[in-house]
Chains A and B, each alone.
Chain A
Amino acid sequence: MSGVDFVREADENIPGFRQRLQGLAQTPPIYLLLALLVLISAGLAVQYSAAGGDGRPWFWPHALRALAGCLLMVAVALVDVRFWLRFAYVPLAMMLALLLVLEFVPSDLAVDRWIRVGSYQFQPSEPAKLALVMALARFFHDRRGRGGFLEILVPGILIAVPAFLVWRQPDLGTAAAIVAVGCVTAFLAGLSLRVVVAGTVAAAGAVPLLWWFVLHEYQRVRVRSFLDPESDPLGAGYHLLQSKIAVGSGGAFGRGFLGGSQTQLEFLPEHHTDFAFTVFAEEFGFAGTLALLAIYALIIVWGVVLAQFVRNHFGRVLAASITFIVFLYAFINISMTTGTLPVVGYPLPPISYGGTALLTLFVCMGLLLNVYVHRDSVLGRRNRTLV
C-alpha cells in the first residue's frame, strides 16, 4: 500500500442534486434549524427594541438580510461538496485581495474595516475566518497529517497573512479570532502533536511581546479600562460600565420587551451592533441570556456530533471548525459586553446588526448543512493540485 499516497483516489457515495434535496427536505436537521430560527427571532426583537420600538431603521433591513441569508444557506447546502472542496482556496484568496485593497487604499478614518460600494458596505475580515477554515480543511484533507515541514509552513502562512492584514486595519479582536480559528482548524485537521505543543508554548511566551510591540496605544487603553473600568466612568470605561449596568439591571427575568431603560434611553453605546446582546440581556434577564447561550451551545454540539459521523475529512474539519467560529462569536461578544474580555468590537450574529457577520453566519450554517447532506460521501485526496 506504499503507493497509495500518489494515487488519485476515487470519490464515492456522492449524492446527486435530487438526493441532496431529498436529504435536506425529508430528514431536515430540525434542531439546528429551530435553533437558528430562535436566534433570528431574538435578533429581530433586539433590533426592534434598540430603535425604541420601531421597525426602522434596523428591524426591516435585518429581517431582509436574514431572509436573504436563509436562501443563501440553503443554496450553499445544496451545492455538490466537491465544488466546495475543489474551490476551497478561492474564498481565502478573494478575502486576501480585498484586505490588501483596504490596506493600500487610503481612507479618511483611522479604522477602516469596510469596503464600500455605493451604499453597501462589506467587511472582508468577517468571512475571512470562514475562508481560512475552508482553505485549511482542504489543505489537511489533501495531506496525511504526519507533521512534515510543509504541514507547518503552509498553515502558518495561511493563518498569518490574513491575521496580519486584519491587525493592520487595525482590528485586533478579529485578528486574534482569525488566529484562534486557524489554529483550532489546524489542530482538528490533524496537525502533528509536537507542533501543537511547541506552538502553545511559543504563544504563551509571545503575550508580553504582543503587549509592547504589537498593540496600539488605544488598544492598550481599552485593555486597561477593561481591567479597571470604574477608574474613568465617562471615558474609555463608559461603554463597558453602561453595558454592565444594562446586563445587571436585567435581573432574573429582565425588564420586559421594550422595557430596558439603558436601551431605550440610549445609555448603551452601539446598542444595535456590538452591544446588541446587552439589549437582550436587559430586557429578557438571566433566563433569556441563559437560553440564548444554550441555543448557541446546541448549534455547537450539533455540529461537533455531526462531525463524528462524517466520512470525509474535509467535511469533518469544516463542521467542527464552523462550530468553533460560532463559539467565538458567542464567547467573545458576550464576554466583552459583560466585562470579562476587553472591548474589541466583535459582533454576535444574528443578534447584532451588520450584514457581513450575518451573511457569514448563514454561509457557515449552509456549509454545516452541506456537510450534513454529504456526511456519507467519501472524498479522495487531491494533493497535487492547490486549486
Chain B
Amino acid sequence: MKPVESSRRHDFDRRSLLILGLNGCFLAVVAERLYQLQILEHEQYAVRSDENRVKLQLLVPPRGRIFDRHGVLLAGNRWHHYLHVVPPSGEEGRRAMMLRLEHILRPSATRYTELQEIFGPVSGSRESPHKLVRLHSWEDVTKVASHSVVLPGVSVRRESERHYPAGDVLAHLLGYVSSVTSDDISRNEVLAHLSNYQIGRVGFEQSSEAILRGKIGTLHVEVNAHGKSVRNLREKKALPGKDLRLTVDYRLQRYATSLLAGQTGAAVLLDTVNGEALACCSSPSFDPNLFVTGLDHATWNALSNSPTTPLVDRSVRGRYAPGSTFKVAVALAALEAGHDPNHTVFCGGVREIGGNRFHCWRRQGHGRLALTEAIAQSCDLHFYELALNLGVDRIAAMARRLGLGAATAVDESVNERAGLVPTKAWKKEVYNKSWYQSDTANVGIGQGYMLATPVQLALMTARIASGRELGVRFVQGVVNHGVDERLTGAAPPDFGAARRLADALDIEESSLAFVRNAMSAVVNSPTGTARDAGTERDDFLMAGKTGTVQVRRITAEERKSGVKKNEDLPWKFRDHALFVGFAPVEQPRFAVAVVVEHGGSGSRVAAPIARDLLLEAQRLGVTDGSEGAGQIA
C-alpha cells in the first residue's frame, strides 16, 4: 500500500463513519418526530382529521303545503338553483374564475351583468361557500355543472322556495314566510344553523308553523377537500311538514276578491251548517311571494305606509262599528226580553235622549212602524227606543251570544281581534265614567263603543240563520305527507272535532224566525233598504241587513243646511258600507258579511257584493273536495 493511498483511506474511513453517525442522528431525529406526531399527538390529529372530513348538515324537510277545500294548491314549494363559490385567494385567481364564469354563462350574460360587481367583495370558505347568484334556467345549471372541472370551488345548490300560486287572492289568510331574523333566533336557537330557512310570518304560515315545518333531521357527511360530499355517515331522517287543507273555496275567494277590487274592505262567507269559512277576503291585498324573495325598501315602504294598509287583514282584524247590521241583535234581545213585535214606535226623524238630539238616518222620519218594518227600513228611532227599554247589558249579552266580542275561530288558527261589546261595567273600568242613556241609544244602532270584525258579523248572521252556536272554522284538516306521524311533536289541533253539529243557540226559535223573516223583508220587501240588491230568482232569495256607518260627526249647523252627500265628501270622511246576509231564505246555507270602508251606502255598495257572493256560492254548492285536486290556472 502506498502511503498516500493508506493515509487517504484512513481519513476516508474515519470521515465516512462520522458522516454515517451524523446521518444516523438526523434520521433518529426524524424518527423521534414521527413518534411525536403519530403516537404522542395522535389523538389531536385524529380529531382534526375528522373535523376535516365530517360535516354536520341539518336536513330541512319540505314545508307542508296548504290547499283549499278542493285540493287547489295555495302555498307550495319551488326549487331554485343558486351558484355558490369558494372564492379563490388572490386577485388574479378571482379574476380568472370570474372570467370563466362569465364565459360559461355568456349567452345569457345580460341576466348576470351584476356578476362582476358582486364577485369582487365576496368571501367564503370551504365550509360555507358564498351564494353568488341565482341561475335562471336549467340550461345554465347544466352548463355550470358540465364545466365543474375548470371551476374549482364552484357548486350549484338547490334551494326550496315558498310559492303562493294564489298570489294576492289569499295573502292575508295564508300569510307568508320570510328569512329568519335575529329575533327568531333568540326564540329558537336551532334556527341559526339553518341556512336559508324561512319562517312563517302571519296567517296560517305563522299559526301552523309547527305543523308545516315538520321535523328537522341531521346528516353527518364525509366531504373531500373541495367541500364535496363523498358519502353519508349517519342520518337522522327529516320528517316532512304536514299539509293543511283549508275550508276556503279558492273559486269563491277569488270571486270575493274580484268583487272587492278597488275597494277597501272585507268580505267573509261562512257555511251556516258547520261554520266553515268559504271565503275570507280583505282588500286591498298584496302578493305574499314578494316577501319570500325579500322585499326592497321601496316596496316595503309602499306596503307598510299606504293609507289603505294592505298588510292588515281586515276580515279578522278590522274593527268596525257594525251600525244598523247590529239592529238584528238588538231586535233579538228585545224579543227574548218579551217585547211585543207588533208594538209600534213613532219616528219623526229626531228625538231627544239625555239632553242630546238623536236623529234617524231618514230626516223626515218613518212614521209609525212595527218591528219588522223597523228592521226592513232600518229605523233608528225605533231602535233607540228598544235599546233604552232593554238597557245596554241585555243587548251586550245577546251580542255575545251571537258571537260578537270574542274570537270566532274554533281552532285558534287565525290571529283575530275580539271587537268590543260595551257594558256599563266596561265603561266604568276603562273610562271610569258612568254609562249614559245616550251611550245605550248609540249601541242600539250599532254605533258608539260597539265594534265588530267582519268575521264576527258573518258569524252573528250564521248563528241567526242556523239557530246554532256555530264557531268559525278555517282548517278542514291536517293531511299527512304519508309519513310516520310519531315524531311531529305536539299533537296537531283536533280540527276534525268541530265536525259535530253545533249546539242550538239559547234563543227561542220563534224569535230567530221573526228576525230572519224581517231580514228577508230588508231585501225582498218593496220597502226594504236593500230592495234593489234582491235577486229575481225565487230559489236563491237572500235575507240580510244593511248598515251605513258614519265615520264623522254631523254638526247641528250641517243638519240645518242639509247633510252632505257621501259623494261630496273626501273619501276618508265617507260612510262605511256594511251588509250582512244569508241565503237561501228558506233553509239558509250561507252567511255573509261585507264591509266596504268609506263605500257610502250599505244598500247600494255592500249589499250587491254580498248578493253576488251568495249567488256564486249557491251556484257552486258546497262540496268537500273529494273530487280531487284542482290547480290554479
Which residues on A are within 8 Å of B, measured CB to CB?
1, 4, 144-145, 184, 187-190, 234-235, 242, 244-252, 261-262, 264-268, 281, 285-286, 289-290, 293, 296-297, 300-301, 304, 307-308, 313, 316-317, 320, 323-324, 327, 330-331, 334-335, 338-340
Contacts and interface: CB of A to CB of B under 8 A. Distances in A.
A4 B2 contact: yes
Given A235-B89, A300-B23, A244 B34 contact: no
A251 B34 contact: no
Interface string B385-416: 00000000000000000000000000000000
Given A304-B16, A331-B26, 4 more contacts: A235-B89, A247-B37, A334-B33, A338-B34
A268 B5 CA distance: 51
Contacts of A340: 29-30, 33
A338 B39 contact: no
A251 B46 contact: yes
B12 A190 contact: yes
Contact of A290 (B29, B34, B45, B230): B34
Which are the 6 A-B pairs with shortest beta-carbon distances?
A248-B45, A249-B49, A286-B38, A265-B224, A266-B225, A267-B225
Contact of B27 (A188, A265, A331, A339): A331
Contacts of B41: 248
A289 B37 CA distance: 11
B4 A289 contact: no
B222 interface: yes
B11 to A, nearest CB: 5
A248 B11 contact: no
Contacts of B504: none
B9 to A, nearest CB: 7
A215 to B, nearest CB: 21
B121 to A, nearest CB: 18
B31 A293 contact: yes
A338 B33 contact: yes
Interface residues of B, number: 45
A289 B34 contact: yes
Given A190-B11, A250-B38, A265-B230, A320 B19 contact: yes
Nearest to A243: B37
Interface string B180-223: 00000000000000000000000000000000000000000011
Given A286-B39, A307-B12, A317-B12, A267 B53 contact: yes
B17 interface: yes
20 contacts: A184-B19, A188-B19, A190-B12, A234-B125, A247-B45, A248-B38, A248-B41, A265-B230, A267-B225, A286-B35, A286-B38, A286-B39, A300-B23, A308-B13, A308-B16, A320-B12, A323-B20, A330-B27, A331-B30, A338-B37
A316 B45 CA distance: 44
Contacts of A316: 9, 12, 16
Given A144-B4, A187-B19, A290-B31, A249 B39 contact: no
A296 B27 contact: yes
B8 A313 contact: yes
B618 to A, nearest CB: 67
A55 to B, nearest CB: 21
In this complex, the member of B30, B37, B42, B125 whose beta carbon has the largest number of chain A beta carbons within 10 angstroms is B37
Contact of A301 (B11, B20, B33, B230): B20
Interface string B19-59: 11001101101110111011101101110111011000000
A236 to B, nearest CB: 10
B351 interface: no
A249 B48 contact: yes
A320 B12 CA distance: 9
Given A296-B27, A313-B5, A265 B45 contact: no
A300 B20 contact: yes
B4 A261 contact: no
Interface string B543-564: 0000000000000000000000
Contacts of B9: 313, 316
A303 B414 CA distance: 89
A212 B6 CA distance: 45
Interface string B159-178: 00000000000000000000
A313 B46 CA distance: 50
B49 A262 contact: yes
A52 to B, nearest CB: 10
Interface string B302-340: 000000000000000000000000000000000000000
Contacts of B12: 188-190, 307, 313, 316-317, 320
B16 A297 contact: no
A339 B16 CA distance: 28
Interface of B: 2-5, 8-9, 11-13, 15-17, 19-20, 23-24, 26-27, 29-31, 33-35, 37-39, 41-42, 44-46, 48-50, 52-53, 89, 125, 222-226, 230
B38 A289 contact: yes
Contact of A248 (B3, B23, B44): B44
Contacts of B226: 266
A245 B33 contact: no
Nearest to B44: A248
Contacts of A266: 224-226
Contacts of A304: 16-17, 19-20
A339 B31 CA distance: 13
A249 B45 contact: yes
A285 B35 CA distance: 10
A145 B52 contact: no
Contacts of B53: 261-262, 265, 267
Given A281-B38, A331-B27, A145 B45 contact: no
A173 to B, nearest CB: 16
Contact of B33 (A268, A317, A324, A335): A335
B34 A293 contact: yes
A243 B3 CA distance: 53
A136 B15 CA distance: 16
A310 to B, nearest CB: 9
Contacts of B20: 300-301, 304, 323
Given A244-B45, A266-B226, A267-B225, A327 B26 contact: yes
Tell which of A188, A245, A339 has the most Cβ of chain B within 10 Å: A245
Given A247-B34, A247-B38, A335-B33, A324 B13 contact: no
A335 B12 CA distance: 28
Contacts of B89: 234-235
Nearest to A301: B20
A327 B19 CA distance: 10
Contacts of B2: 1, 4
Contacts of B3: 1
B43 to A, nearest CB: 9
Nearest to A286: B38
Name the residue among B13, B38, B49 with the largest chain A CB count within 10 angstroms: B38
Contacts of B230: 265
Given A235-B89, A307-B12, A249 B46 contact: yes
A187 B15 CA distance: 7
Given A245-B45, A245-B48, A265 B222 contact: yes
Contacts of A184: 19
A323 B23 CA distance: 10
A308 B224 CA distance: 51
B223 to A, nearest CB: 7
Given A145-B11, A297-B27, A338-B34, A324 B48 contact: no
Contacts of B34: 247, 281, 286, 289-290, 293, 334, 338
A187 B37 CA distance: 34
A330 to B, nearest CB: 7
A290 B12 CA distance: 30
A373 B551 CA distance: 119
Contact of A293 (B30, B42, B222): B30
Given A248-B42, A338-B30, A297 B49 contact: no
A288 B1 CA distance: 46
A323 B27 CA distance: 13
